[in-house]
Amino acid sequence: MGAATSRVSSAGAEQVREDGTIRVAVVGLGYVGLPLALEFARGGAQVLGIDVDERKVTAVNAGHSYLLDVDADALGAAVADGLLSATTDFNALAGTENICICVPTPLRKSLDPDISHIVAAVEEVAKHLRRGMLVVLESTTYPGTTEEIVLPRLEAGGLKAGVDFHLAFSPERVDPGNTRYAIRNTPKIAGGMTRACTERAVKLYQFAVDEVVPVHSPRAAEMVKLLENTFRAINIGLVNELAMICNHLGIDIWEVIEAAKTKPFGYIPFYPGPGLGGHCIPIDPLYLSWKLRTVNYTARFIELAATINSNMPHYVVEQVTDVLNTDRKSVNGSRILLLGVAYKPDVADVRESPALDILALLRRKGAVVAYSDPYVPELDLLGERYASHDLAHGVKDFDLVLVTTNHSAFDMDAILASAQVVYDTRNATAGRKIPEGCRVVRL
């Protein structure tokens, strides 16, 4: 974008009000927006949360946190101090100069990006866009979304980005369950339509983040996020394929990884598992490969990794079938307990969890399936309601225990003491004494 003449000050002088306060609206109060809103409030900003879900709005205004990662006391204090409030009414945007859009970007069933939440949020923001405002998109999306989808909708009213208002992209880096890195101490990338837009975004995020890293465009910022998560998805796909290779060669993949980790440079450990879960890693790379298909480029690496990762639930069920077969048992009629249905350890989120795919595949084969997960008290799947099995009753009645998510809360020694057979997809039994009468097979 050329050096547009700007009618808004370059560093966003209007951003900080006469009384020294800054006002910011966070659209979308999920696992990204709520922690961000709270961190802005803790940085002294006047924060307005906007969400279409009345329950979230009510909870926030009551100081109740609905996310494990958002401290209820801190939320309650910010609300009590008048620094944070929430509403479903976009008209409230009249009372702010800065807007961060943190809405979901799922995939459609056709594996194409679903940016409908972005479009809906941007169209609401456009109705209230005023000279001097900054709009930042945070939702993970394909490179070009800010310029191709957000920009025209915001400029439709006649105001021009970089001249009358600022527009940038800043990828979210929220890692659910991570107790070491949170909003404030995780560097934040920001890329604006113009240099002034970038500077304005950097100034805004300095209220919530210790380090803000500018890049030259929204497209670059969109790509940074996809590089980060595609890197993970491809390396997980690689190690999943190596696990299958090692199984064919009679090699213990877990021993190989532990040994490779001794290399102090040039290697980063990833671990095989039952597949890819969560709202980021299985989805973000497919946003990139979808975009590349529109420019007639096939992202072979990304699509191959997605194929391998999405096949892991089937591979695990094949392995479980073989393990039961060793005991002359068929899957059909066997009682199988899944340990952990959340998508990763110590979180409650089951979105895209491979454990759900495995549970469904085993049900279709006629297994009598149960699960135990301290973070997921009940589950609706394929029209059936499941309640988490209480491990206090032991696991001896199950023909096979399948470790799908290795929550820290699991007492693996107690489980091994009462299990007949354990198929371990997470190396959760590593280093444990295997009692007589219990057989453990690892991925």
Interaction site with ligand SAJ (CB under 6 A):
172-176, 178, 228-229, 232, 236, 270-271, 273, 276-278, 280-281, 343-344
Measured CA to CA, the distance from residue 125 to residue 136 in angstroms comes to: 11
**In angstroms, what is the minimal distance from the CB of 323 to ligand SAJ?**
20
Measured CA to CA, the distance from residue 40 to residue 83 in angstroms comes to: 9
Residue whose CB is nearest to ligand SAJ in the complex, by number: 278
Q: What are the tokens at 51?
A: 């969400």
CB closer to ligand SAJ out of 187 and 377? 187
DSSP reduced 3-state for 72: helix
Measured CA to CA, the distance from residue 40 to residue 55 in angstroms comes to: 22
**In angstroms, what is the minimal distance from the CB of 95 to ligand SAJ?**
29
CB closer to ligand SAJ out of 93 and 189? 189
Q: What are the tokens at 441?
A: 């097979």
Measured CA to CA, the distance from residue 386 to residue 370 in angstroms comes to: 7
CB closer to ligand SAJ out of 151 and 308? 308
Q: Which residues are catalytic?
A: 280
**In angstroms, what is the minimal distance from the CB of 353 to ligand SAJ?**
7
Burial 301-322 (b: 16+ CB within 10 A, else e): ebeebbebbbbbbebbbebbbe
CB-CB contact of 167 with 135 (8 Å): yes
CB-CB contact of 170 with 221 (8 Å): yes
Element (H, E) at 354: helix 354-364
CB closer to ligand SAJ out of 203 and 344? 344
**In angstroms, what is the minimal distance from the CB of 270 to ligand SAJ?**
4
CB closer to ligand SAJ out of 36 and 196? 36
CB-CB contact of 340 with 379 (8 Å): no
| Cα Rg of the chain, angstroms | 24
Measured CA to CA, the distance from residue 176 to residue 210 in angstroms comes to: 19
CB-CB contact of 37 with 47 (8 Å): yes
**In angstroms, what is the minimal distance from the CB of 373 to ligand SAJ?**
14
Identify which of 114, 119, 194, 117 has the alpha carbon closest to the alpha carbon of residue 152: 119
CB closer to ligand SAJ out of 143 and 273? 273
CB-CB contact of 38 with 78 (8 Å): yes
**In angstroms, what is the minimal distance from the CB of 181 to ligand SAJ?**
8
